[in-house]
Amino acid sequence: MNSKEVVIGVSTALLLVVLVAVVLLGGTAHTPSSEIRPLAKFYLENCLNVFDRTWWTASPEAVTSMLWDYRGIDTYYETSVFFLAIIGAVALFRVVEVKLKAEENERRESGLSIIVKSSTRIIFPLILVVSASVAFHGHLTPGGGFQAGSILAVGPLLLIAAFSRRYLEEHLRFSRDKFLVLRSVGLILIVLVIALPLAAGAVLMLNQPKPWLPAYIFPVAFDPVWTSGTLFFFNVAEFLAVGAGFTLLFLLLSIPEEEFKRVLGI
């Protein structure tokens, strides 16, 4: 350890101490208190308020209630931004339409060692189960569509790293078009659930009935499954859209460089 590193270490520690002192002495003017603020109080009191159902979302999960009910349009736009990003990636990679299996004389990619492959075989189904449970319980426990979708996408990514892209295409029959369809199904489902209340003359993305709107009842439970109205369907659709979108992105990114050069004729 030379003197330069000592100086860096001491000055970093000093910076931390000074910052903490400034915050403790009230230098930031407002330090969030440990008491619950009025807005948070509103969400906590109303998201599962069975006595006064004016503002309720039929879900004990305040975060999912906010994401898909109180500020649902926001989340819809977030989903469309993600959709556009994937569209951009697909458009960039449009030059490589050729299937890898068409190449006969190319060396077969063998992937990583047997230890990595065996542990991936054990972990992969676990990732799928965890992501499904996060998605299907998103309206009851922490989690939701986006979280579950990104957990799901880790699975194929692990397979690409441990085995190879060719393995996914030949043995698991993964293809770009399949994931495009799957992602579109998720998005169409979201749009359908958003538009459903319009049929009864109510407003877009309405979850539970409001007294000032025309009567529109979406059941809070499909016996025996409690779905919190539309929240469950939004979560599952978002799960499909995000999971398939990320997987599609990884499939495109893992196209070997040689393939590009061959197709582009460089």
Partner 1 sequence: MLGISMATFVLSITALALTLGALFTYLAIKSKDLIKAAIFSAGQSAAFALAFFLLMAPDIVLAYVAVAVGIYTVVLLYVISKTERYEEG
Query: Which of 99-107, 115-123, 137-145, 176-184 is the region at the interface with partner 1 (rule: CB under 8 A)?
Result: 137-145
Cβ–Cβ contacts within 10 Å for residue 98, how many?
12
Contact flag: residue 11 with partner 1 (CB under 8 A) = no
- Nearer of residues 148 and 190 to partner 1, judged by Cβ: 148
Are residues 148 and 245 in contact, defined by beta-carbon separation less than 8 angstroms? no
Exactly one of 30, 102, 257, 264 binds partner 1 (CB under 8 A); that residue is 257
Residues from 60 through 89 that contact partner 1 (CB under 8 A): 63
Contact flag: residue 151 with partner 1 (CB under 8 A) = yes
Site string for partner 1, 176-215 (x = CB under 8 A): ----------------------------------------
Contact flag: residue 255 with partner 1 (CB under 8 A) = no
* Count of alpha carbons within 13 angstroms of residue 248, beta-carbon side: 28
- Nearer of residues 218 and 234 to partner 1, judged by Cβ: 234
Residues from 21 through 40 that contact partner 1 (CB under 8 A): 34
CA neighbor of 148 nearest in space, from 128, 162, 167: 128
Closest distance between partner 1 and the C-beta of residue 22, in Å? 16
Distance, CA of 74 to CA of 127 (rounded, Å)? 28
Which residue(s) pair with 222 in the sheet? 225
The residue length of the chain stands at 266
Element (H, E) at 57: none
Closest distance between partner 1 and the C-beta of residue 146, in Å? 6
Closest distance between partner 1 and the C-beta of residue 206, in Å? 23
- Nearer of residues 78 and 204 to partner 1, judged by Cβ: 78
* Six token digits for residue 193: 């659930």
Q: For 226, phi and psi rounded to 5 degrees? A: -80, 115
Element (H, E) at 252: helix 231-253
Distance, CA of 18 to CA of 248 (rounded, Å)? 47
Are residues 158 and 164 in contact, defined by beta-carbon separation less than 8 angstroms? no
Q: Under the rule (CB under 8 A), what is the footprint of partner 1?
A: 12, 16, 34, 63, 134, 142-144, 146-148, 150-151, 153-154, 157-158, 161, 246, 253-254, 257
